[in-house]
Chains A and B, each alone.
Chain A
Amino acid sequence: MYALVDGNNFYVSCERVFRPSLNGRPVVVLSNNDGCAIARSNEAKALGIKMGAPWFQIRHFEESAGLVALSANFALYGDMSDRMMSLAAGLGHHQEVYSIDESFIDLTDIKGDITERSRRIRHRILKWIGIACGIGIGPTKTLAKLANHIAKTAERKPGSYPDHHAQVCNLGNLAPMELDALMLATQVGEVWGVGRRIGAQLKEAGIHTVLDLARLDPVMVKRRWSVVLERTVRELQGTDCMVLEHEPPAKQEIACTRSFGHAVLELSALQEAVTEFASRAAQKLRLQNGHAGQVLTFIRTSPFRAQDLQYSRSTVVPLRRPTHDSRDISQAALLGLQAIFRPGYRYAKAGVMLLDLRPADLIQQELALEDDVADPGASRLMQALDAVNQRFGRNTVTLASAGLAGEQRQWCMKQERRTPGYTTEWDGLALVRA
């Protein structure tokens, strides 16, 4: 049996913990550069604001409905996530943190009433950190995810499902008739792993509800669609096909890309940005103990500014030898940038992607016939770099070509509406009137 614990409207909920005045008002959290809505309060959902809605399209609600829009404050969400995950872990013996606001818990060997236990954990998370969660329980991960959808929808839209499934929904102890009724009341597109494209295909084939999907023959599904959808069908039928992943699998590529706050014209500013992105990516690479073989750099203008001349180009620079050294990776990225940069364009976005990743302990030995032997101290230098930045804050020590830190950098993100680091900065603590 699995449980899926998921924070409701997580980013908005985190903001509300420290800004009680946001309670009861429509609130959205905007993506990088205040681009589009990535989290919505129930009140914002009720206004018809869709996930991913661009800010300029919903901006009028500020005046007409008192909508509050905030820039994403990932330092805050990360800390609150950490607190939530460690409380959710108390539900069972093993936990898989699936995203910033979701974790699967393996309920094997948990004695007693699981639904009651889940309600207690949910209450504890709400009281201790102020985040309301939905908890879904089922014999497979796909069913737990479905139960979670039911738990959250039953609470948000009374009448959509029977009331007693609100907040905590356990599909594991239902009579077959009851389970069928819930599946019949749920659109097939809500099933985990059924994307928009597959969802449309299924509806075309007359499969509209989860129950329709669960009643298909897995062998036929595999033949007609894919092995992935077959697994989904089997999971809906109660066959456990996905195990808990305790450690996130090593990423196959690592990217650090960002849109600029303002258009960038100068090569020097792009060089600063690309150096920073390369360093950030290299740090992520070291975290998963990997080496990269190639570095992709791209720059482009804004496709949303039709009046601008458009330009978009990327290039891949292979590394002399696979490495996780920020210096070598930045150098390759800058070489790539040099090759694709053309003056006269208003650049809106740049990025660095590390490709051809492999574990750092797989090293191909070579005969030292050339002068440029590998720097034996590089690993320790990078360890020291990461340790210093961990201890004294991000960007304490950077490569010189990243430029000086600070808001004056013209390529910095636009985050005009960001709340302080309430739990991560001494100077950002929430204020209380006495």
Chain B
Amino acid sequence: MNHELLSFDQPIPLSQVSTLVSVLPCRVAAGFPSPADDHAVQRVDLMAQLIKHPQATFLLRVRGESMKDAGIFDNDVVLVDRAITARSGHIVIAMVDGEFVCKTLWQRCGRMKLKAANVTFPDINPADGQTVEIWGVVVASIKQFKA
């Protein structure tokens, strides 16, 4: 502000004069430097481990016991990645007759079926003309315990 332009009989406008303050982006330690500083690492990020394609990952809740030998039980929550192209051997979510089913995909010589991981359940063999669409690939299962 140019004060010389103001005469003495005029009130001087009150204003906050801004001042630049530099803040150093670090703390200055007065004592001995921490030996851990050189070994700084990130804590394990569970989400990053489990979810490779965030936009394509969805959660579904399992109802039924047909996949128990694969470690998927009733009421578990499965992580499903739709970005992965399903191959034989993958545990998949398929759409059968307007419903989601969780099974192991089996493909050979142009034929496919959906195999249960429980001997008391039958496999699903699509009839001629019946389309079975794969919705996504199961990449993890979450089981929560009482605690």
Assembly CA distance A21 to B95 (angstroms) = 9
Q: Spot the interface stretch: A127-135, A207-215, A306-314, A356-364.
A: A127-135
Q: Kindly state whether residue A368 has any CB partner on chain B within 8 Å.
A: no
Q: Is the CB of A432 within 8 A of B98?
A: no
Per the bound structure, the CA–CA distance linking A274 and B52 in Å amounts to: 44
Query: Which B residues are in CB contact (< 8 Å) with A20?
Result: 95, 98-100, 133, 135
Asked whether, in the complex, the Cβ of A21 is within 8 Å of the Cβ of B72, the reply is no
Per the CB 8 Å criterion, the residue count for chain B at the interface is 29
A80 to chain B, nearest CB (A): 10
Say if the beta carbon of B93 comes within 8 Å of chain A: yes
Cβ–Cβ < 8 Å partners of B59 in chain A: 423, 429
B contact face: mostly helix, strand, loop, or mixed: strand
Report chain B residues within 8 Å CB of A433. Answer: 63-64, 66, 99-102
Asked if B56 lies at the interface with its beta carbon under 8 angstroms from chain A, I say yes
Residues of B within 8 A of A129 (CB): 55-56, 82
| Contact among B77, B98, B101, B135 with A434 in the assembled complex (CB-CB below 8 Å) | B101
Q: In the complex, which residues of chain A have a beta carbon less than 8 angstroms from the beta carbon of B100?
A: 20, 430-433
Interface centre among B58, B93, B98 (most CB of A within 10 A): B58
A19 → chain B closest CB, angstroms:
8
Nearest-neighbor residue (CB-CB) of B73 within chain A: A434
| Structural contact, A432 and B82, CB atoms closer than 8 A | no
Give the nearest-CB partner of A365 in chain B.
B14
Cβ 8 A contact of B60, one of A23, A86, A87, A431: A431
Residues of chain A with a CB closer than 8 A to B61's CB: 429-432
Complex CA distance for A433 and B65, rounded to whole angstroms: 9
Determine if A83 is an interface residue (Cβ-Cβ < 8 Å).
Answer: yes
Cβ distance B26 to chain A, nearest Cβ, rounded Å: 28
Tell me the nearest residue of chain A to B81, going by C-beta.
A128
Of the listed residues A21, A23, A127, A128, the one surrounded by the most CB atoms of chain B closer than 10 A to its CB is: A128
Contact indicator A23/B62 (Cβ below 8 Å): no
